[in-house]
Amino acid sequence: MTGQEALFEYLLRLGDNALILGHRLSEWCGHSPALEEDLALSNVALDLIGQTQLWLNLAGEIEGKGRDADKLAYLRDARDFRNLLLVEQPNGDFAATMARQFYFDAWHYLLLRELTGSKDARIAEIAAKGLKEVTYHLERSQEWVLRLGDGTEESHRRMQAAIDDLWMYTGEMFESDEVDQAMMRESVGPDLAALHEPWLGLMRTTAEDATLTLPQPGWAQRGGKRGMHSEHLGYILADLQFLQRAYPNATW
């Protein structure tokens, strides 16, 4: 794998995480438990889709085959997506959505913070922009984990179930493969393993304040970064890509 190929893969991962989670959150539009939550979830989705455009346009430029963000988002099949398994998990109930968001936001925040110091100026620039938005996402998702965990018996039960069910998808966030290592050697990206401790620190403090029991580190489900996805991604793409598949090259 050449340096350019690794960079392309790396940018796809950044873009696909934002795209798939953004799409998942947009599924709540019109269905949220309250109007304020509908607005908030849609706005977080919008931030993530905005970040997707920046990452995937840059990926297309690096690849040099004339693909832009739209082509990459709408015309790849599931095996070519590089997002984490965590972000493609179904919305479930509101607790599951917020637990998934909190796990991801804390990691996303730490990653973007490191990427603001990337040797690649374009990556640093997009990360600095995204970091400001993700800061808000993290504050919000943490607040919901606290509120539901330390809430009623029912909300506590649901939030505990959510953090338990999604836990096995968090390990993948901190594992490095040859792409991550190539980026580390070039000082483009950080050592993902080094993000684990600060991430766990925030998880432990938050779980304690929320009267939740954090699952023990254990077996991790992995594969998303290499294109090995859960069955859910295909259904997401069927929805996300429908228009371009049915009406190729349709534009507004």
Partner 1 sequence: MTSSLTRPDLEQIRTWLEEVPDPEVPAVSVMDLGIVRDVQWSGDDLVVAITPTYSGCPATSVIALDIESALRAKGLDRLRVERRLSPPWTTDWISAEGRRKLEAYGIAPPAENAGGPSVFDRLLRKPLTIACPRCKSENTARISEFGSTPCKAQYRCDDCLEPFDYFKCI
Residue 142 interacts with partner 1 (CB under 8 A): yes or no: yes
Assigned token pair, 169: 């998808």
Residue among 9, 16, 47, 180 that touches partner 1 (CB under 8 A): 47
Stretch that binds partner 1, among 5-13, 135-143, 180-188, 244-252 (CB under 8 A): 135-143
Residue among 27, 37, 63, 114 that touches partner 1 (CB under 8 A): 37
Question: Interhelix angle for 3-26 vs 178-185, to 10°?
Answer: 120
Answer positive or negative: Cα dihedral of 34, 138, 219, 204. negative
Closest distance to partner 1 from the beta carbon of 200 (Å): 12
Residue 135 interacts with partner 1 (CB under 8 A): yes or no: yes
CA pair distance 186, 107, nearest whole angstrom:
21
Residue 68 interacts with partner 1 (CB under 8 A): yes or no: no
Closest distance to partner 1 from the beta carbon of 10 (Å): 18
Residue 128 interacts with partner 1 (CB under 8 A): yes or no: yes
Assigned token pair, 172: 């993948």
CA distance from start to end of the chain: 38
C-beta of residue 6 within 8 angstroms of C-beta of residue 62: no
Nearer Cβ to partner 1 (159/179) = 159
Q: Which residues bind partner 1 (CB under 8 A)?
A: 36-37, 39-40, 43-44, 46-51, 53-54, 109, 121, 124-126, 128-133, 135-136, 138-140, 142-143, 198, 202
